[in-house]
Structure 1
Amino acid sequence: MALKAVHVSDVPNLDQVPENASLALYSTRFSKGVEFGRVASRIPKFLVIGHRGNGMNALQSTDNRMRGIKENSILSFNTAAKFPLDFVEFDVQVTKDGCPVIFHDDFILTEDEGSVFEKRVTELCLSEFLCYGPQRAGEAGKPLLRKTKDGRIVRWEVEKDDSLCTLQQVFDEVEPSLGFNIEIKLDDYIVYQEGYLIRVLQSILQVVFEYARDRPIIFSTFQPDAALLVKKLQNTYPVFFLTNGGNEIYYDVRRNSLDEAIKLCLEGGLQGIVSEVKAVFRNPGAATKIKDAKLSLVTYGKLNNVAEAVYMQHLMGIEGVIVDFVQEITEAVCDMIKPTEEDGDALLEGDRKMQVKSKPHFTQRELSFLLKLIPELIQL
């Protein structure tokens, strides 16, 4: 697909962009930061990002934390905001009538008189989308079902439910100091035309520029052409390319390795990469290559719910992690990482000091050995 540049003036309401907007202007949960890839913005030295808010829902999991709070909801985002978190990550799709909404799956499922009905989110108008799940007025909406990875269809039942929401509602109702990692969600198996992508991105950008104010924003997407376009459509917020680094193979070769991700970022002027953590652990040298390319690197994946794996990434120079167990990992990061940084004093209150409970110590030789060993362990 041939891409053409789109002028910012073509996007509605972009005249509302604050002058000289950049992450350097935003107050974050921790006082000092590092340069954000190829732009002169600054982020905290080690980001912790809540996956779909306070964590994704895995309805088939035996871990009750994976069914605690409805993912991608205002309740989930504000629950995550109670912890020393920098950003929440969430998925944005655009309805048929042009409204950006928060939902992960490509299809939404419900049940009526014993039959299961499945509809693509982007083929619904906003009023239809908001009819699913609990309603704000208290009445019951259409029951929400979900398809698990093994193909089973189960009721989407969590301990604390919440209604579906729009991107505008999230800006209005979520703690204003919390950053947003906005993942532009597109179907992995559809070849999108450029015109369609531009319309989707314009709808999202219009809401962001009208309602973001001073909130830190990062855009990310697995779709290479969408990543390039959102960078061309605006130059205010960083754009990261999402990749699983070859854990799955796609028809688009740009999605199939960290080397291809680096190439795409450099050619398109993107600021960084969000990689499945296993891809980085299998090839630790990629983290150095990404850093040498002056790109930022953040990771996602189940291993990021293990404190020791998060700490290893900090030692490797990775700039942040997307996690499901927000409370546990933010506590671990505060114990193992935050107090040891130059900005540690910012975390002290009066004469009370945080106790570093479990920070491991490695010599450079031991660290080098671990980085060589990890790829072998990941293969097991």
Structure 2
Amino acid sequence: MRMAMANAPEYSIAASPPPRLPFVINQGSRFVVASHRRRRRHRHRHPEIDFRSSSSSYAGSTLPMAQLKAARVADVPMAVDVVSPAPASASASAHAGAIVEVDAAEGGRAGGRFAVIGHRGKGMNALASPDRRLQDVKENSIKSFNEAARFPVDYVEFDVQVTKDGCPIIFHDNFIFTEEDGKILDKRVTDLLLEDFLTYGPQNEQGKGGKPLLRKLKDGRIVNWNVQSDDPLCTFQEAFEKVNPRLGFNVELKFDDNLEYQEEELTRILKAILKVVFDYAKDRPIIFSSFQPDAAQLMRKLQSKYPVYFLTNGGTESYTDLRRNSLEEAIKLCLASGMQGIVSEARGIFRHPTAVPKIKEANLSLLTYGALNNVPEAVYMQHLLGVNGVIVDLVQEITEAVSELIAVPEPDPDAKNLSNGAAKDAATPNFSQREISFLLRLIPELVQ
């Protein structure tokens, strides 16, 4: 079925439900994934993974050991920004067919199915990467969000900042670059008026040219922001008006790590964002998240309708603010302020897998982001560990892999008679220690 919205690109609504959850079995010297309905040979073909197996002994028998090469971390920068899954209310959940049911007002936590979330839409732009998929569609654009909607993703994640004149806009970087008379010029995004911000890059008005849009890379180089499918910069309001209504919004509250923010300034910024949400969200599921601990806490105080998640590098980087330095500190912060979940760098989860049951015991949801989330096997292992969802750049590849490896549990006619805890257990797949141990043995090769 195809739908169109006024003044917006067309999009199509996905998709058929994935097959039942597969299980891992040992079959000679090959890694095999079999569904509960039928067994079939399955070998993932991924550019970063060599599945020509070498045998490894386990529990007195031979297990295939996939030779996982490290994901191309340089291709997908690790310092990304992310978020988490969970509609704020039952009505929002039903509207989106969404993944994690949460009632923020009641302090509800996540249950439901494994979520795939499009990072900055259909994927971030890594302009120096040899992988052309990372320069496909302009990140954080209306076109990128609607392209992601062609696949069975539950949410799109994007970064929201507020201009000098109080308008929430969608843009990741703290500074925006252009070239004028052979000179490179940069301005802080939040120092711009909305009218000035929208003059960068391609324009909505036919035949009108904008300022050249450049980007500063992590190595300091400044390059033209060239992608295969470009699109104008946009406001937060436009996203509500022009993006496929089935998609939830994973809204990262973006702040500069190098600046200190007073509560008065944070309040002004967050209220401007909330005004747009309350005016335009309707039944669309919304999740807020932030790396800025004070902003995340304040957003939880300012409203109780939508869940708030704390973003953390999971101990993979160090900060002067101790609240940002570990998963343990993230748990403490969430419990102290009533936040509903954590979004961690995937490497933090693999390096400290014992943190996952602690997060679950605290009744918090858990999402991850990072380069490893573009490796299907790493995504599958996170599902086994208890992660609720992943934020990914390779939307098509990962949604296809998840539909094969991780299925939505089939409805249980007796589930309504179970307690909440029993219902969750009934929907949770059971894996043997042998199956889990085999997958966990791959972690050291992934986290390099």
* Structure 2 residue aligned with 1:190: 259
Alignment pair present for 1:242 and 2:308? no
**If each structure's helix is expressed as a fraction of its own residues, which one has the higher value?**
1
* 1:130 corresponds to which of 198, 206, 216: 198
Alignment correspondent of 1:283: 352
Secondary structure (helix, strand or coil) at the match of 1:338 reads: coil
Kindly state the Cα deviation for residue 363 of structure 1 after the two structures are TM-superposed: 2.8
- Structure 2 distance, partners of 1:63, 1:42, is 34
Q: Tell me which residue corresponds to 2:339.
A: 270
Q: Which residue of 1 aligns with 2:210?
A: 141
CA distance in 2, matches of 1:124, 1:222: 23
Counterpart CA distance in 2 for 1:275 and 1:149 is 21
Please give the secondary structure, in 2, of the residue aligned with 1:204. Answer: helix
Determine if the alignment matches structure 1 residue 329 to structure 2 residue 395: no
Query: Do the aligned residues in 2 keep the contact of 1:73 with 1:164 (CA within 8 Å)?
Result: yes
Residues 1:231 and 2:231 aligned together: no
Q: Paired residue for 1:256, among 309, 325, 338? A: 325
> 8 Å contact 2:136–2:229 — kept in the other structure?
yes
Question: 2:135 is matched with which residue?
Answer: 67
> Take 1:282 and 1:41, find their aligned partners in 2: how far apart are those partners?
25
Tell me if 1:22 matches 2:91: no
Verify the 8 A CA contact 1:245 1:258 in the aligned structure 2: yes
For the 8 Å contact 1:23–1:43, the answer to whether it is kept is: no
Determine if contact 1:36/1:296 at 8 Å carries over to the other structure: no
Which consecutive unaligned segments of at least 5 residues does structure 1 have?
Answer: 1-20, 346-360
Secondary structure of 1:150's match? coil
The superposition leaves residues 310-344 of structure 1 with CA deviations (integer Å, 9 ceiling, x where unpaired) of 111111111000000111111111111125x2259
In percent, how many aligned pairs have the same letter? Answer: 60
Q: What letter matches 2:139 in structure 1?
A: E
Inter-CA distance 221–314: structure 2 relative to 1 (3 Å threshold): same
- Given that 1:24 and 1:42 are in contact with CA atoms closer than 8 Å, whether structure 2 keeps it comes out as no
Q: CA deviation at 1:33?
A: 5.0
Closer/same/farther in 2, CA of residues 326 and 378 from structure 1, 3 Å limit: closer
**Is 2:444 aligned against 1:376?**
yes
| Equivalent residue for 2:368, pick from 290, 299, 302 | 299
Instruction: Pick one of 126, 146, 155 that aligns with 2:224.
Output: 155
TM-score (norm 1): 0.86
Q: CA deviation at 1:23?
A: 2.7
Contact 1:230 1:239 in 2 (8 A): yes
1:377 deviates by: 3.1
Shift, 1:268, TM fit = 0.5
The one of 150, 155, 158 aligned to 1:90: 158
Higher RCO (CA-CA < 8 Å; seq separation 6+):
2
How many Å apart are 1:113 and its aligned residue?
A: 1.2
Unaligned runs of 5+ in 2: 1-86, 414-429
1:94 and 1:244, CA in 2 relative to 1: closer, same or farther beyond 3 A? same
Q: Determine if the alignment matches structure 1 residue 169 to structure 2 residue 238.
A: yes
Q: Deviations over 1:44-71 (max 9, x none)?
A: 4111100000000000000001000000
Q: Residue 22 of structure 1: CA displacement?
A: 3.4
User: Once the two structures are superposed, what CA deviation does each residue of 1:66-111 show, in whole Å capped at 9, x if it has no partner?
Assistant: 0000000000000101111100000000000000000000000000
In 2, Cα distance between equivalents of 1:290 and 1:278: 16
Amino acid at match of 1:315: L
TM-score (normalised: structure 2)? 0.73
CA distance in 1, matches of 2:180, 2:95: 46
- Superimposed CA distance per residue, residues 170-203 of structure 1 (whole angstroms, 9 cap, x where no aligned partner): 0000011100000000001111111100000000
Q: 1:163 to 1:43 in 2, by over 3 A?
A: farther
Provide the C-alpha distance between the structure 2 equivalents of 1:379 and 1:217, rounded to a whole number of angstroms. Answer: 31
What's the Cα RMSD here?
2.2
Residue 233 of structure 1 aligns with an amino acid whose one-letter code is: L
What letter corresponds to residue 275 of structure 1 in structure 2? S
**Separation in 1, partners of 2:167, 2:277:** 12
Counterpart code for 2:268? R
The change in CA–CA distance for 1:263 and 1:40 in structure 2 (over 3 A counts) is closer
Tell me the residue number matched to 2:185: 117
**How many Å separate the matches in 2 of 1:338 and 1:53?**
23
SS at match of 1:342: coil
Q: 1:284, 1:182 → 2: CA distance?
A: 26
CA distance in 1, matches of 2:226, 2:254: 23
CA distance in 2 between partners of 1:272 and 1:205 (Å): 19
Shift of 1:34: 5.3
Larger Cα-atom Rg? 2
2:363 is matched by which residue type in structure 1?
K
Q: CA deviation at 1:24?
A: 1.5
CA distance in 2, matches of 1:42, 1:277: 19
1:50 to 2:106 alignment: no
- Cα distance in 2 for partners of 1:29, 1:217 equals 10
